[in-house]
Structure 1
Amino acid sequence: MFTNTYYPIVGGVSESVQRLKSRLQVMGHRVLVVAPKLEGQPEKEDDVVRVLAVQNFNGSDFSLPVPIPGQLYEAIEAFEPDIVHSHHPFLLGDTAARAAETYKLPLIFSHHTLYEHYTHYVPGDSPRMQRFAIALSTEYTHLCDAVIAPSESVRQLLQERNANPVVAVVPSGVDTERFGQGDGSALRRRLGIAPGAFVVGHVGRLAKEKNLPFLAQALVELLSRRDDVHFLVIGDGDARNTIEEIAETNGVAARVHFTGKLQGQALIDAYHAMQAFAFASHSETQGMVLVEAMAAGLPVVAVDAPGVREVLRDGCNGYLLAEDDAQAMADALMDLVEDPERLAKMRHQALLVAQEFDESRCARLCLTLYRQAIAGGGPVSHADDGTWERVRGRLGAEWHMLCHRGRILRSLFQSMPNQPLLQQPLLKKDEELLPKQ
């Protein structure tokens, strides 16, 4: 598995990779993770290869891996993989594609992220940069034997963008049993939240793409209506200042609580300090935190978005809002505050829906896809090939990556300035890029 984010980074992709790796290992499989070197990583990791990386790229939580091919190929050849699984379409995702091509192994890609929502982390952000992000991830799918979409919404979006048609919906799993066991009383006492108070929570990076100014406005409206309601925010980031300013301006800052980043049992206990969960991001492909919240028995109030609508059933395990409407979100949360019977019913339904996304089930689905890809074209290990075969494989990999970049650039510059890239034909045959005889 190749990933640009991994432990100790806290985030959806990092957690997804760690959980899938651990579950596959429990099922008896060997997994090697290639990830960036990060501050705070374990001193010894038997099943992880770390590569050099630039930390906190452009002020973000993300790292910029700088892989050294020789080091990686030695580790890969020693491991003798049956399959390569890439979790990003760039950086170590490129390295994953090269490794798969070099050793003639099936390549699987998990499309975790709608990258066009994250271009503000790149200098020179613009609509053209967003079109480039779409082209990059879409064209990458054509390098792969199969693609994993974490939700049906993402699968449909990939179809619209003329991506690789071999797409399987495999959600990122959650250990529902573990998230169902927590105690939030200590955290509530530490924050000065009375036992009888109603707590609405949120978990995630406090970043621009999470639509937090809207969420803060909705929660401020709720807190203005009831003195016994509190807002608990788990996570950290630049948008914290925005939430604090909105709360201060509206006179409810004393009932808005920040814990910073939490992991492990501390995170689970924080979920159990809440009675309901609020979410407003439009950039999610699944919204794994929603499943975590439901596994802790929390009804969810969220704005409709890809991935969110797969786990949130309006009127069943929470409320799904059609658009950003602060009054509507405050009304939906107020309904849970004032109707304990409805709250109890939605808590029960939340627990039932969470079971559909248990990590054991999701790992079995992923394993089925692996086996299908292997049966279709492998596995073929070249670990014992001679030097020339390895060199030839690497040259072939570099050629395919060059063709891949050529298709992206052609798609980008052929698109009209005001026309979405997904309306342009993205897929070009490698032969079109070959020099003429």
Structure 2
Amino acid sequence: MYRVLMLHRDFPGQFRHLVRSLSQDDRIEVRALGQRVEAAVPGVCPRLYGPVPAVGPGTHPYLRTVADYVGRGQAVLAAALAWRQDGYRPDLVIGHGGFGDTLYIKDLWPDVPVVGYFEFYYRSRGADLGFDPEFPHTLDDQARVRTLNAVNLLALEAADLAISPTRWQRDLHPDPFRDRIEILHEGIDTDLACPGPAQPLMLPEGGSLTAADEVVTYVARDLEPYRGFHVFMRALPEILRRRPRAHVVLAGSDGVSYGNPPAGGGSWRERLLAELGEGLDRSRVHFLGPIDHDAFINLMRLSKAHVYLTYPFVLSWSVLEAMACGVPLVASDTAPVREVVEEGVNALLFPFHESTRLAERVDEVLEMGLGADGLRQHARHLVVSRFDARTRAVPAWRMLMSQRFGCPAPAHGLLDRRPL
């Protein structure tokens, strides 16, 4: 029996499809350690390593996140040590390298290969920091993110194999490490994220929207500047002026996943609504709050134009799932997006900071009507052919694990081909 140990703060995280594949293979035993369980995977019961020690108030500001990640690595080490004392030894460890989970596992099992997933290497210029002139950064910010990379660098040094999901994310890493990093996306379930009939959307304030309505959508985990929420909101008055029948539906929480909350408190939603004031027709703008995955897929099937914006940062699963659903996409012309979007072929692009241009492009794609079918078809084709979990991503992971570390390969071979 080949033993695989999975490590992720929010299990299974990016490893959901891979863990499911491994756990269904009778030749492989899967164990997992995590701080929280994000989603259940049949056949895998992760051990929770519990709360990470709180970072002390006297910790240097540059080191607060680093100290949290070191505490997580220590918690993983303690949980794994208990297993080793019971006779457990994995044949392969796979973990997220950015949160501290893989930091010390090599010290416990020096001869066990470690595969690290490296999602984002922080840059003081050329990526997210300093991208948005509305939120200027300081020299202090630059020093802080340079220090934060200590965790990435330690995890990279300890990894026998490093993985990044896209070329742009890989290329953020320093030259000495870049050539060691393989590009392998974790995959999108395009059997779930696919075109189909949409159920009516019941609105929080009453009433509903159906496939007969002109619906523009925006979705993010949190409604915040990193995902262009402020740019999108400022485009709404012009979108609604140009499209008198349109309704705009936004889904996401009022928290902050990446940047900072507004100065003075409150949420970015409250701040932007106050800024727009009477200039925004609130009767045609609908906030759903956070939604589950099934509701997201239905929303994409209902949508006539989906808008996605991001700083130069991690590419969201949601944009790939939206493309797989065949919704016409209007997206920011930023580096992560350009890796999957070709202007006029599978989406329409606009400069991130230009709300007026965003409104024009939304109007353009809505005006296409059935003429947008080419965008829809090319978008789905790209995601299925490059990112499909079952036929592309997971087989590629499994074959690499087999070739490099002797993990049993999938019995059906590299690719389970099916129509795109």
Taking structure 1 as the reference length, the TM-score comes to 0.72
List, as ranges, runs of 4+ consecutive aligned residues in structure 1 with deviation greater than 6 Å.
Answer: 55-58
Tell me the CA shift for residue 230 of structure 1. Answer: 1.9
Contact 2:7 2:94 in 1 (8 A): yes
* Aligned counterpart in structure 2 of residue 23 of structure 1, from 21, 24, 38: 21
Please provide the CA RMSD for this pair: 3.6
* Contact 1:37–1:50 (Cα < 8 Å) also in 2: yes
Segment of structure 1 superposing worse, 199-208 or 328-337: 199-208
Quote the Cα distance in structure 1 between the aligned partners of 2:76 and 2:95.
Answer: 17
Distance 2:311 2:290 in 1: 21
2:62 equivalent in structure 1: none
Give the conservation status (yes or no) of the 8 Å contact 2:162–2:181.
yes
Quote the sequence identity (%): 20
Q: Does 1:229 align with 2:246?
A: yes
5+ residue gaps, structure 1, are 8-13, 380-437
Please identify which structure carries the higher strand content. 2
Distance in 1 between residues matched to 2:169 and 2:8, nearest whole Å: 20
AA aligned to 2:254 is: G
- Please name the residue that 1:32 is paired with: 31
* Cα separation, 1, equivalents of 2:170 and 2:317: 17
Structure with greater proportional helix content: 1
In structure 2, C-alpha distance between the alignment counterparts of 1:277 and 1:162, rounded to whole Å: 39
**Matched pairs, number:** 361
Contact 1:201 1:278 in 2 (8 A): yes
Instruction: Give the alignment partner of residue 359 of structure 1, picking from 375, 389, 403.
Output: 389
> Hey, what does 1:394 align to over in structure 2?
none
> Quick one: structure 1 residues 274 and 54, their matched pair in 2 at CA, closer, same or farther if it must change by over 3 Å?
farther
Aligned pairs (5 A) from 1:164-183:
164-180=178-194, 183=197
2:195–2:324 Cα contact (<8 Å) kept: no
1:336 corresponds in structure 2 to 365
Aligned residue in 2 for 1:197 = 213
Post-superposition CA distance 1:219-277 (Å, at most 9, x none): 34312321212222222123333444355442222222222222242222222221222
| Bigger mean CA deviation after superposition, 292-301 or 276-285 | 276-285
Structure-1 separation of matches of 2:273 and 2:53 = 27
Asked if the contact 1:287–1:307 (Cα under 8 Å) also holds between the matched residues in 2, the reply is no
Equivalent-residue separation in structure 2 for 1:232 and 1:331 (angstroms) = 18
Give the distance between the partners of 1:145 and 1:258, measured in 2 at CA: 45
Question: Residues of 2 paired with 1:94 and 1:135: CA distance?
Answer: 11
Assess if the C-alpha contact under 8 Å between 2:103 and 2:158 holds in 1: no
Shift of 1:27: 5.1
Is 1:147 equivalent to 2:162 in the alignment? Answer: yes
Q: How far apart are 1:308 and its partner, in Å?
A: 1.7
Q: Is the alpha carbon distance of 1:98 and 1:264 closer, same or farther for their aligned partners in structure 2, counting shifts above 3 Å? A: farther
Alignment of 1:182-331 (within 5 A): 183-188=197-202, 192-193=208-209, 195-206=211-222, 207-238=224-255, 239-246=268-275, 248-331=277-360
When normalised by structure 2's length, the TM-score is 0.74
Opposite residue 200 of structure 1, the aligned amino acid is V
Q: Cα–Cα, structure 1 residues 372 and 141, in superposed 2: closer, same or farther, change >3 Å?
A: farther
Superimposed CA distance per residue, residues 180-221 of structure 1 (whole angstroms, 9 cap, x where no aligned partner): 165533215665336432212222222342232112222343
The answer to which structure, 1 or 2, has the higher relative contact order (CA under 8 A, 6+ apart) is: 1
Indicate conservation of the 8 Å contact 1:139/1:163, yes or no. Answer: no
Distance 2:338 2:323 in 1: 14
Q: In structure 2, do the counterparts of structure 1 residues 70 and 133 end up closer, same or farther at CA, with 3 Å as the change threshold?
A: closer
In structure 1, the residue matched to 2:400 is 369
1:316 CA drift (Å): 0.9
State whether residues 35 and 48 of structure 1, in contact with CA within 8 Å, keep that contact through their aligned partners in structure 2.
yes
SS in 2 for 1:31: strand
Cα distance, 1:33–1:237 mapped onto 2, change above 3 Å: farther
Moved more, 246-255 or 171-180: 246-255
Matched, 1:105 2:112: yes
Secondary structure of 1:200's counterpart equals strand
Please tell me the residue identity of whatever aligns with 2:35. P
Residues of 2 paired with 1:320 and 1:33: CA distance? 40
**1:129 pairs with one of 139, 144, 153:** 144
